[in-house]
Amino acid sequence: MIVLGIDPGTAALGYGTVERTGARLRLVDAGCFETPSTWGLPQRLLAIHRHVVEQIELHRPDIVAVERLFFSKNAQTAFAVGQARGVVLLAAAAAEVPVREATPNEVKTAVTGYGAADKEQVGRMVAVLLNLEAPPRPDDAADAVAIAIWAANSERDGVAGAAPATRPVGALDRSAVTPAATGESSFDRAVREALQRERTARKVS
């Protein structure tokens, strides 16, 4: 099985392809596709789409794995990631390649065992899992490879596929392959309760 992992972004898009044979994982390709800051958004998105199409045509992946937009403190960054995700999903759909999605925390937990791992920890574990002398560079490439590893291992374990409807989805992620379920999820409730506690604490202080 060949998996193309994508860490989406309009300025820099990480990509990484891994091959799984049984329990063995092998790095096929990895890198970071950057678009000039002087380009307008339409030109950047077109270039990203062409690059992803080239990667699909080159490696013929069985799955495209892409980071799911979860939460971002910077709305501008979140929208940029969402726009890049859109063209990645378009390229995969046009090539009729199934898409798997995971939040950053899901990927970090699968690769490092710790959902709040930093980029250095992710890179080190990617190198260990793929028997590399050093992590893929830059960090965007390592993140993309980590996404590919998550998808490859999930497929092996029989737990991948479109995300179940009960999985919490970021409020901004309306381009998800499997949208959020209607109604309040346990995650939404936890966030709401945390915000309420914060507001109460501010009033007390």
Amino acid at 148: A
**Are 6 and 65 a contacting pair, CB within 8 Å?**
yes
Q: What percent of the chain has pLDDT over 70?
A: 74
**Which of the four pLDDT bands, split at 50, 70 and 90, describes residue 179?**
low
Contact call for residues 108 and 117 (beta carbons, < 8 A): yes
Question: From CA 15, how far away is CA 75, in angstroms rounded?
Answer: 23
Burial class, 88, CB count within 10 angstroms (exposed 0-12 / middle 13-18 / buried 19+): buried
Q: What is the pLDDT of residues 41-99, one digit of tens each?
A: 999 999 999 999 999 999 999 999 998 876 556 677 778 888 999 999 999 999 999 99
What would the mean pLDDT of 114-124 be, rounded to a whole number?
Answer: 87
pLDDT at 16 over 90: yes
- Taken in order of first residue, the domains within the chain and their CATH numbers are 2-204 (3.30.420.10)
Q: What's the mean pLDDT when you consider all of the chain?
A: 83
Catalytically active residues are 7, 67, 140
Note whether 48 and 88 are within 8 A (CB). yes
**pLDDT (tens digit per residue) in 17-45:** 999 998 899 999 999 999 999 999 999 99
Return the H-helix or E-strand segment holding 158: none
Q: Given this model, what pLDDT does residue 113 score? A: 85
Q: What is the dihedral sign for C-alpha 65, 70, 73, 76?
A: positive
Q: Examine the pLDDT at 173 and tell me if it is beyond 70.
A: no
Distances (CA, A) of 40 to 13, 83, 91: 16, 13, 20
**Quick one: how far is CA 21 from the chain centroid?**
22
- Helix, strand, or coil here: 11? coil
